[in-house]
């Protein structure tokens, strides 16, 4: 199957199997960070939409533990930036129907939580096809190291993701059941 076919099939499965009670355990996530000695303070998250696994509990706990949190803002030319966000800050809905910060304070995350459509055991990720995260990671890695953590439901795993030279491999993938490294 090509990327488009995998994307369509997996999105249908995700919609059918979506359960808002399936979540990443926030405390296990924090323990994972400590165990891996990821003492970095700036997190880029995402506002879940289209049946993505919810990362808001994780972001809220990180904020309570004095981590800085940011969310993406979509810009022109298929680009995005991450801007600071707190759970009490207002959001506006972008052209894709996804809430994003009103803040324009740009942040460069040390750790990036990445939504995905499908993934494989080799830490490859299939997104929605716009290349937003691949371009952002490429831009960010020109001047700093960023830890890329994909978040997904375990049923989004497939045997192999077709990749090209622009696709950015993740460092970890965390589901409600496992952590891939």
Angle, to 10 degrees, between the axis of helix 26-35 and the axis of helix 56-64?
60
3-class SS of residue 10: helix
pLDDT given at position 131: 87
Q: What is the pLDDT of residue 164?
A: 87
Domain count within the chain: 1
Q: Can you give 116-141 as a three-state secondary structure string?
A: CCEECCCCCEECCCCCHHHHHHHHHC
CATH number for the domain spanning 13: value is: 3.40.50.10420
- Identify the pLDDT of residue 40: 76
Residue 38 is predicted with a pLDDT of 67
Chain segment 127-156, per-residue pLDDT in tens: 988 889 999 999 999 999 999 999 999 999
Residues of the chain with pLDDT under 70: 38-39
Q: Which two tokens stand for residue 136?
A: 């952002």
pTM: 0.93
- Which parts of the chain fold into alpha helices (H)? 3-17, 26-35, 56-64, 132-140
Q: Which domain holds residue 87?
A: 3-180
Give the span between the Cα atoms of 181 and 178, in whole angstroms.
10
């Amino acid at each position: 199957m090509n990327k488009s076919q995998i994307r369509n099939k997996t999105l249908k499965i995700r919609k059918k199997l979506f359960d808002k009670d399936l979540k990443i355990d926030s405390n296990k996530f924090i323990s994972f960070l400590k165990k891996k000695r990821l003492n970095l303070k700036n997190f880029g998250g995402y506002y879940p939409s289209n049946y993505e696994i919810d990362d808001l509990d994780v972001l809220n706990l990180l904020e309570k533990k004095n981590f800085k949190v940011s969310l993406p803002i979509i810009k022109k030319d298929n680009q995005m930036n991450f801007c600071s966000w707190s759970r009490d800050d207002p959001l506006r809905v972008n052209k894709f129907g996804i809430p994003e910060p009103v803040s324009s304070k740009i942040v460069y995350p040390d750790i990036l939580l990445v939504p995905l459509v499908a993934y494989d055991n080799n830490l490859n990720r299939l997104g929605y096809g716009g290349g937003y995260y691949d371009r952002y990671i490429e831009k960010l890695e020109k001047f700093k190291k960023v830890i890329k953590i994909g978040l997904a439901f375990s049923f989004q795993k497939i045997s192999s993701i077709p990749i090209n030279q622009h696709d950015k491999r993740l460092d970890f993938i965390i589901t409600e059941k496992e952590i891939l490294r």
